[in-house]
Structure 1
Amino acid sequence: MGVVENPQDAEAAGTQRGVTLLVTAAILFSGLSVLAKLVGARIPLPEVILVRSVVAVAFARGTLARGDIPVWGTRRTMLALRGLLGFIALVCYFYALMHLPIADAIVIHYTHPVFTLLLATVVLGEALERRETGFIVGCFVGVVLVTQPRALFGAGETSADPFALTVAVIGAVISAGVYVMIRELRSTEHPVRVVFYNALVASILAAPWAWHAWVPPDPLEWTILLAIGACTFLHQQSMTRGLHLVRAGRATALGYVQVLLAMLAGIWLFHEEVDPLAWIGAVILAVSAGWLATDRRPVAPRG
């Protein structure tokens, strides 16, 4: 006679699997961000987005075919809308990535867990908890210390382009809506189908834009662009699967594990200067995210 697994233990194990997937997604996102900044020195933004999206479409379509999974799904309008919002958020993020220090761009993008927490409360019924409220405070303190906005820190060398900062924040808000939509779609749509729609919509929207701005890549740039596409597919698949298992706010907060990696990449690859206040902010962000990640309670039911 088999051992009956405790449902709560099973849910907790699922949550832990989700945490692992989301940490993996964060590392992949950090890698593709570094690659995008490297190739973006000469290759225009729409071209980067197009190649990245076409490669992700190919990977996702092949995965669906191998699993004999229907391509188009049942909630097609919402899937397409998720793709549109994802494209807008991506454009905002890549613009910020190419006009800000890499750590600043990534950290501002990852303010989206704050907005995700609030949206998830309203849309998904995932009420704020004490840990998550503490994370919000830590997140904003960390972001202020890392980005050091001019209004608080003056116009010194560490201050960033205000327009690029604004674009980055807009992208973070839209990203929050995307993550809530992914969480909502979990009951009816396969994770790879969600990835496929996102990449397909981005490919369609980026194609005419890239056509007018096309710069022929050299062999090394083609290699980097294809690597960005592969990282994109693996990142989105890990992130989407993780969001099926972990509360929306807590899930998106786990992305902060890459902030220190981004800072190190900025120092080693792009010779960016990081002052002590920025390091303190990054540590606060990492601790806040880790605080949430250690909570292994299963996803709370909607209601």
Structure 2
Amino acid sequence: MSVVENPRRDEAGDTQRGVIRLVAAAVLFSGLSVLAKLVGARIPLPEVILVRSLVTVAFARGALARGDIPVWGTRRTMLALRGLFGFAALVCYFYGLMHLPIADAIVIHYIHPVFTLLLAALVLGEALDGRETVFIFGCFAGVVLVTQPPLLFGAAAAGSDPFALAVALLGALIAAGVYVMIRELRSTEHPARVVFYNALVAALLSAPWAWSTWVPPDAFEWTMLLTIGVCTFLHQQSMTVGLHQVRAGRATALGYVQVLLAMLAGIWLFAEEVNRVAWIGATVLAISAALLATDRKAGVTAAPRS
């Protein structure tokens, strides 16, 4: 039977391909995060952001050229705002990491799929699916158990910096807005163009910051920085195409896989200890993410080609 005669089958196939891309994006993000942690022992954060952004600009520009796709698009203001908000969300996240216990910062950041679910319903009219919502909250519960933030699990909450908490929460809200914007742009803008704008804005904004703290990388550090840039491009491309094919709330929740991968990387690469509660959380997270990934009820919209 042709695709036209059986549109539901085609939509389900596109959605599953979108899920695969989103999981691939989570794997890539985990990989570049490990590399960033290694190179960040000596290279300042703004320098890492600048180099990875410039590499991403080059690859995205090449993808646009190969497809003979106009660079600047039709919704330039929204594309630029996507880049600006993406950069702001990144800065808020790293500010939280620097001024809060890492577990608190991660858990606050990963509230963003819940915000995305609500914003997508309000802005895009994407109806809340009961089964999908349960899995999203299941993923978040797993993240809480894996990270065990002092804010919830200990007495450190009273000593937490209220301003840092507010910044981290603002970052999660901005991140949700970014994902909704990407979803909104799917009808007119090619994924490579969205990636190009995002990286270009990040490069322009991080350049003065990086210049003021520049540390000359050695050959090995340059290799890691360039690899981070390539992984960033592949991550952004996979994530953007996935968001074109999978509803925003479900799509962003699949990013919870990053927490599970980060935990495993910590065990294998950094000899980090994991207690029983964390293993329970990892199990809850893995099961919820798997059920979310195999849920075929979410809607799909094909990505534009120009």
TM-score, structure 2 length as denominator? 0.88
**Structure 2 equivalent of residue 197 of structure 1:** 197
Cα offset, 1:172, TM superposition: 2.4
Matching residue's letter, 2:83: G
Q: Secondary structure of the equivalent of 1:35?
A: helix
Cα offset, 1:81, TM superposition: 0.4
**Structure 2 equivalent of residue 185 of structure 1:** 185
For 1:276 and 1:17, the matched residues in 2 are separated by 34
Comparing 259-268 with 217-226, greater Cα deviation is found at: 259-268
**Structure 1 equivalent of residue 73 of structure 2:** 73
**Structure 1 equivalent of residue 64 of structure 2:** 64
**Structure 1 equivalent of residue 45 of structure 2:** 45
Change in CA separation of 1:266 and 1:92 when aligned onto 2, cut-off 3 Å: farther
Change in CA separation of 1:279 and 1:257 when aligned onto 2, cut-off 3 Å: same
Change in CA separation of 1:261 and 1:298 when aligned onto 2, cut-off 3 Å: closer
Matched-pair identity in %:
79
Matching residue's letter, 1:110: Y
Cα offset, 1:99, TM superposition: 7.3
CA deviation profile, 1:267-289 (whole Å, cap 9, x unmatched): 23233332221222222222222
Change in CA separation of 1:224 and 1:2 when aligned onto 2, cut-off 3 Å: closer
Is the CA contact 2:244–2:300 (under 8 Å) kept in the aligned structure 1?
no
TM-align CA RMSD:
2.5
Matching residue's letter, 1:240: T
Is the CA contact 1:83–1:197 (under 8 Å) kept in the aligned structure 2?
yes
For 1:154 and 1:106, the matched residues in 2 are separated by 16
For 1:300 and 1:230, the matched residues in 2 are separated by 28
Comparing 265-274 with 84-93, greater Cα deviation is found at: 265-274
For 2:11 and 2:114, the matched residues in 1 are separated by 25
Matching residue's letter, 1:232: T
Change in CA separation of 1:277 and 1:99 when aligned onto 2, cut-off 3 Å: farther
For 2:282 and 2:104, the matched residues in 1 are separated by 10
Structure 1 segments unaligned to the other structure (5+ residues) = none
**1:105-254, aligned counterparts within 5 Å?**
108-155=108-155, 162-163=160-161, 167-254=167-254
Cα offset, 1:255, TM superposition: 1.5
Cα offset, 1:259, TM superposition: 2.4
Comparing 126-135 with 66-75, greater Cα deviation is found at: 126-135
For 2:38 and 2:169, the matched residues in 1 are separated by 22
Is the CA contact 2:3–2:9 (under 8 Å) kept in the aligned structure 1?
no
For 2:95 and 2:128, the matched residues in 1 are separated by 32
Change in CA separation of 1:104 and 1:62 when aligned onto 2, cut-off 3 Å: farther
Matching residue's letter, 1:187: S
For 1:261 and 1:284, the matched residues in 2 are separated by 14
**Structure 1 equivalent of residue 304 of structure 2:** none
Matching residue's letter, 2:226: L
Cα offset, 1:125, TM superposition: 0.5
Q: Secondary structure of the equivalent of 1:31?
A: helix
**Structure 2 equivalent of residue 256 of structure 1:** 256
Q: Secondary structure of the equivalent of 1:142?
A: helix
Matching residue's letter, 1:141: A
Cα offset, 1:147, TM superposition: 3.0
Q: Secondary structure of the equivalent of 1:265?
A: helix
**Structure 2 equivalent of residue 299 of structure 1:** 299
How many residues are matched?
298
Is the CA contact 1:111–1:143 (under 8 Å) kept in the aligned structure 2?
no
CA deviation profile, 1:20-71 (whole Å, cap 9, x unmatched): 1111111101101111111111111111100010000000011111111000
Comparing 3-12 with 61-70, greater Cα deviation is found at: 3-12
Cα offset, 1:92, TM superposition: 3.0
**Structure 2 equivalent of residue 277 of structure 1:** 277
Q: Secondary structure of the equivalent of 1:10?
A: helix
Cα offset, 1:119, TM superposition: 0.6
Change in CA separation of 1:169 and 1:3 when aligned onto 2, cut-off 3 Å: closer
Change in CA separation of 1:193 and 1:99 when aligned onto 2, cut-off 3 Å: same
Cα offset, 1:293, TM superposition: 1.1
Q: Secondary structure of the equivalent of 2:128?
A: coil
Is the CA contact 2:26–2:255 (under 8 Å) kept in the aligned structure 1?
yes
For 1:116 and 1:3, the matched residues in 2 are separated by 31
Q: Secondary structure of the equivalent of 1:17?
A: helix
TM-score, structure 1 length as denominator? 0.89
Comparing 287-296 with 75-84, greater Cα deviation is found at: 287-296
For 1:177 and 1:146, the matched residues in 2 are separated by 26
Change in CA separation of 1:2 and 1:29 when aligned onto 2, cut-off 3 Å: closer
